[in-house]
A and B are shown apart, each in its own frame.
Chain A
Amino acid sequence: MLTGRRLKEEKWLPPSNEIISFRNVDKVYKSGHTTNYALDSINFSIKTGKTLSVVGESGSGKTTFGLASLGLIEPTRGKIYFQGIDITSLDRIQKRNFRSKTHMIFQDPYSSLNPYNNIFTTVSAPIESFQKGMSKEERRNKAAEMLDKVGLSPGADFLDIYPKSLSGGQRQRVAIARSLINKPEFVVADEPTSMLDVSITSTVINLMKSLKDELNFTMLYISHEIATSRYIGDDMAVMNLGRIVEYGSPEEITKSPKHPYTDLLIRSYPKPGQKLVPGETRHGDYNVYNGGIKGCTFAYACPFKIPECENTKPELREISQGHWVACFHPIN
């Protein structure tokens, strides 16, 4: 698909400890006169067996990143590799194979479960489509076992009921059970707790963390909620207007952010028991920007902007062991 001018990238082979690798990926949405870069030259990898948290403002491209990594949307440019295989050009069998190894958990547990299907049908759907030939008995046992795992026990008692009699937290557990029943290697969770109360959020997060350790899959955890992202992530990536601007350990990024945008995100986070000091806000309105910007995506509001920031794109570079930042003047 790519022409000769990108020959170098075609030969590029992802290292084996990376389950997903993005190479120069753009996702552009056009509507009328506006061109919106939901993903802007993403070069990035997700490490096998780890949880990567992606944080960023609304509209920064987090969901697009997640959908693209599952092959659910096609990039406008670039390649995405899953275990070394380019998912942007799979044949039907490869596609099926890829789908069976991946799963997505959505934000809204109220609309993501079909109200007309009982819990058994919902939870067993992935084995239904990917492991044909399993008897109903076996599928019921498997579904019940999975429901037990997500804390809906005894699982067998939940099989024949419908979503309407479940609370939000229980529904999200059902969604998690469905996503894991086929033992996927890669799971994307897009804001899985944003519709839930604090007490339920903690339960769901604990559950995902322990299941991840037990079943050993790779997870992409998408959220604008920085504290939970820090808690659940092994690694953290910060997105701003279609780009990843900082990447590293969640602890380090939240303790000493290097990108001024990350710093803004973290300073905006309400701290329990700490009164807000009004007044300190960002200048400029990011809504007029659509990505695809020549320089730094945060230049419009950055307090430390230098002329270079407007004209040259800062690439991600490693400024200390494992800590990457795309900024010409990272914070101290």
Chain B
Amino acid sequence: MSFPILSIKKLNTVFHTPSGDVMALRNLSLEVNKGEVLAIVGESGSGKSTLGFSILRLIENPGEIISGSIVFHSPERDVHILDLSLPQLREFRWVNISMIFQSAMNVLNPIARIEKQFIDTFEAHNIEGDYQERINKYLEIAGLGKQVKKMFPHELSGGMKQRVNIALALSCEPSILIADEPTTALDVVVQKEILSSIMRIKDELNLTVIFITHDLSVASSIADRLAIFYAGRPVEVGSADKILRSPQHPYTTLLLSSVISLNTNREASLKTMGGSPPDLKKRIPGCSFLERCPIGEEACSTYDLFPAKVHGDVFVECIHPGKLEFEMEVNK
């Protein structure tokens, strides 16, 4: 049995821009189960980072969470994140939920030794106890030696910096780690090492991971469940195995078919999706994927998105789930 550790309901996050409000998250509901790796997958601009920032209430001007609720279920009590006061929020963040930021390789302070960056974090979140012991422990968990403590960021490779970020994000012992494209800037070898570390750490620390990526191959290599994002909403959510074997939403199907793998036929041209995502400044009636959907029909434009259709334990936001035939050159 799986229990939700985080419940997001009808969340709306917008960015107020001179040319109109960008609805980055549109009435989004999503549950994250305790101990799982949930991968958030979608194209650029689909709202993945905005979700991460919203959970931690890090949305800054011109952005704003305009409605919805985010509840963190700790063993003791339920925390309504959107209702916390600023001091409460400071105490809550990092200790319960922490985040590795997209392009995090550049977020380390360039003029402070790694050790200092840990100590600053501890002090900011009122952590007590032996700091050195704690730093050593988390550096080791992230696969780094003690000598890194005394080093400056410029002395570390991209992969090592990303490990420091992981160690920092874990060092206040959160229950949930949000990792936003943690390996995108890295090459495959280092990527695999970082992914393996995250998997191992997750088991050791009984962590829940929200893993944000645009790369379905990466997502499928570590996720228990997938949430496929399109235009500010998850359009398909469920067991990674099931979705990868038989995607139900046409967007998921096309996304999966366009993965370039080592078995892609070299003689044929690559499958492409065509079109582009809808303008989030405009109200989108019905299905947001309609314009690009090969099997879209009249009814899709008036389709009431909520509640989504249920297909086993996979939730699909489509009136004809599974209808688009799926063929992928799977690994032999």
**Interface residue from A59, A250, A272, A282 paired with B217 (Cβ < 8 Å):** A272
Q: Once the chains are docked, how many angstroms separate the CA of A273 from the CA of B261?
A: 11
Give the segment of B7-15, B77-85, B268-276, B307-315 that binds chain A. Answer: B268-276
Contact of B261 with A203 in the complex, beta carbons under 8 Å: no
Q: Mark A252-263, 1 if CB is under 8 A from B, else 0.
A: 001100000000
Q: Check B190 for interface membership: any CB of A closer than 8 A.
A: yes
Give the segment of A10-18, A122-130, A227-235 that binds chain B. Answer: A227-235
Q: Check B255 for interface membership: any CB of A closer than 8 A.
A: yes
Contact of A168 with B44 in the complex, beta carbons under 8 Å: yes
Q: Check A33 for interface membership: any CB of B closer than 8 A.
A: no
**Interface residue from B186, B192, B200, B258 paired with A270 (Cβ < 8 Å):** B192
Contact of A275 with B187 in the complex, beta carbons under 8 Å: no
Chain B residue with Cβ nearest A230: B262
Q: Measured between C-beta atoms, what is the minimum distance from B270 to chain A in Å? A: 4
Q: Mark A38-62, 1 if CB is under 8 A from B, else 0.
A: 0000000000000000000111000
Contact of B261 with A227 in the complex, beta carbons under 8 Å: yes
Q: Check B121 for interface membership: any CB of A closer than 8 A.
A: no
Q: Measured between C-beta atoms, what is the minimum distance from B324 to chain A in Å? A: 15
Question: Which residues of B lie under 8 Å from residue A266 when comparing CB positions?
Answer: 262
Contact of A199 with B189 in the complex, beta carbons under 8 Å: no
Contact of B271 with A167 in the complex, beta carbons under 8 Å: no
Contact of A198 with B189 in the complex, beta carbons under 8 Å: no
Question: A231-B270, A274-B221 are contacts. A281–B258 as well, Cβ < 8 Å?
Answer: no
Q: Measured between C-beta atoms, what is the minimum distance from B263 to chain A in Å? A: 9
Question: Which residues of B lie under 8 Å from residue A273 when comparing CB positions?
Answer: 220, 244-245, 330-331
Q: Measured between C-beta atoms, what is the minimum distance from B148 to chain A in Å? A: 11
**Interface residue from A251, A264, A271 paired with B331 (Cβ < 8 Å):** A271
Q: Measured between C-beta atoms, what is the minimum distance from A205 to chain B in Å? A: 6
Q: Mark A190-215, 1 if CB is under 8 A from B, else 0.
A: 00000001110111011001100000
Contact of A226 with B220 in the complex, beta carbons under 8 Å: no
Question: A231-B266, A274-B220 are contacts. A268–B272 as well, Cβ < 8 Å?
Answer: no
Chain B: interface residue total (CB-CB under 8 A): 48
Question: Which residues of B lie under 8 Å from residue A199 when comparing CB positions?
Answer: 43, 254-255, 258, 272-274
Q: Once the chains are docked, how many angstroms separate the CA of A76 from the CA of B331?
A: 44
Q: Measured between C-beta atoms, what is the minimum distance from B306 to chain A in Å? A: 27
Contact of B266 with A230 in the complex, beta carbons under 8 Å: yes
Contact of A206 with B269 in the complex, beta carbons under 8 Å: yes
Q: Once the chains are docked, how many angstroms separate the CA of A265 from the CA of B245?
A: 26
Q: Once the chains are docked, how many angstroms separate the CA of A168 from the CA of B273?
A: 15
Q: Measured between C-beta atoms, what is the minimum distance from A76 to chain B in Å? A: 23
Contact of B216 with A224 in the complex, beta carbons under 8 Å: no
Q: Once the chains are docked, how many angstroms separate the CA of A20 from the CA of B158?
A: 32
Q: Check B157 for interface membership: any CB of A closer than 8 A.
A: yes
Q: Check A280 for interface membership: any CB of B closer than 8 A.
A: yes
Q: Measured between C-beta atoms, what is the minimum distance from B281 to chain A in Å? A: 15
Q: Check B89 for interface membership: any CB of A closer than 8 A.
A: no
Question: Which residues of A lie under 8 Å from residue B218 when comparing CB positions?
Answer: 270
Question: Which residues of B lie under 8 Å from residue A287 when comparing CB positions?
Answer: 157, 160
Contact of A272 with B331 in the complex, beta carbons under 8 Å: yes
Q: Check B260 for interface membership: any CB of A closer than 8 A.
A: yes
Question: Which residues of A lie under 8 Å from residue B157 when comparing CB positions?
Answer: 58-59, 287
Contact of B270 with A202 in the complex, beta carbons under 8 Å: yes
Contact of A226 with B160 in the complex, beta carbons under 8 Å: no
Question: Which residues of B lie under 8 Å from residue A58 when comparing CB positions?
Answer: 157-158, 186-187, 190
- Could you say which of B196, B270, B331 has the most chain A C-beta atoms within 10 Å of its C-beta? B270
Question: Which residues of B lie under 8 Å from residue A57 when comparing CB positions?
Answer: 187-190
Question: A227-B264, A231-B260, A254-B262 are contacts. A271–B217 as well, Cβ < 8 Å?
Answer: yes
Q: Once the chains are docked, how many angstroms separate the CA of A225 from the CA of B185?
A: 11
Question: Which residues of A lie under 8 Å from residue B284 when comparing CB positions?
Answer: none
Q: Check A2 for interface membership: any CB of B closer than 8 A.
A: no
Contact of B273 with A269 in the complex, beta carbons under 8 Å: no
Contact of A282 with B262 in the complex, beta carbons under 8 Å: no
Question: Which residues of B lie under 8 Å from residue A203 when comparing CB positions?
Answer: 270, 272
Q: Mark B157-201, 1 if CB is under 8 A from A, else 0.
A: 110100000000000000000000000001111111101110110
Contact of B200 with A272 in the complex, beta carbons under 8 Å: no
Q: Once the chains are docked, how many angstroms separate the CA of A266 from the CA of B270?
A: 21
Q: Check A307 for interface membership: any CB of B closer than 8 A.
A: no
Q: Once the chains are docked, how many angstroms separate the CA of A230 from the CA of B260?
A: 10
Question: Which residues of A lie under 8 Å from residue B245 when comparing CB positions?
Answer: 273
Contact of B221 with A275 in the complex, beta carbons under 8 Å: yes
Chain A residue with Cβ nearest B145: A285
**Interface residue from A202, A206, A264, A269 paired with B262 (Cβ < 8 Å):** A269
Q: Check B100 for interface membership: any CB of A closer than 8 A.
A: no
Q: Mark A54-73, 1 if CB is under 8 A from B, else 0.
A: 00011100000000000000
Contact of A268 with B192 in the complex, beta carbons under 8 Å: yes
By Cβ-Cβ distance, the 4 closest A-B pairs, closest first, are: A199-B273, A202-B270, A268-B192, A278-B199
Interface contacts beyond A198-B260, A209-B269: sample of 16 additional A-B pairs, CB < 8 Å, sorted by A: A57-B190, A58-B158, A58-B186, A198-B214, A198-B215, A199-B254, A206-B269, A227-B260, A231-B264, A231-B266, A269-B262, A270-B195, A271-B217, A271-B261, A276-B199, A279-B200
20 contacts between A and B (CB under 8 A): A57-B187, A198-B43, A202-B258, A202-B273, A226-B188, A227-B260, A231-B270, A255-B262, A264-B189, A265-B188, A268-B188, A268-B189, A268-B191, A269-B188, A270-B218, A271-B221, A272-B216, A276-B192, A276-B199, A282-B189
> Chain B residues in contact with chain A, CB under 8 A?
43-44, 157-158, 160, 186-193, 195-197, 199-200, 214-218, 220-222, 244-245, 254-256, 258-262, 264, 266, 269-274, 276, 328, 330-331
> Chain A residues in contact with chain B, CB under 8 A?
57-59, 167-168, 197-199, 201-203, 205-206, 209-210, 224-228, 230-231, 250-251, 254-255, 264-266, 268-276, 278-282, 285, 287
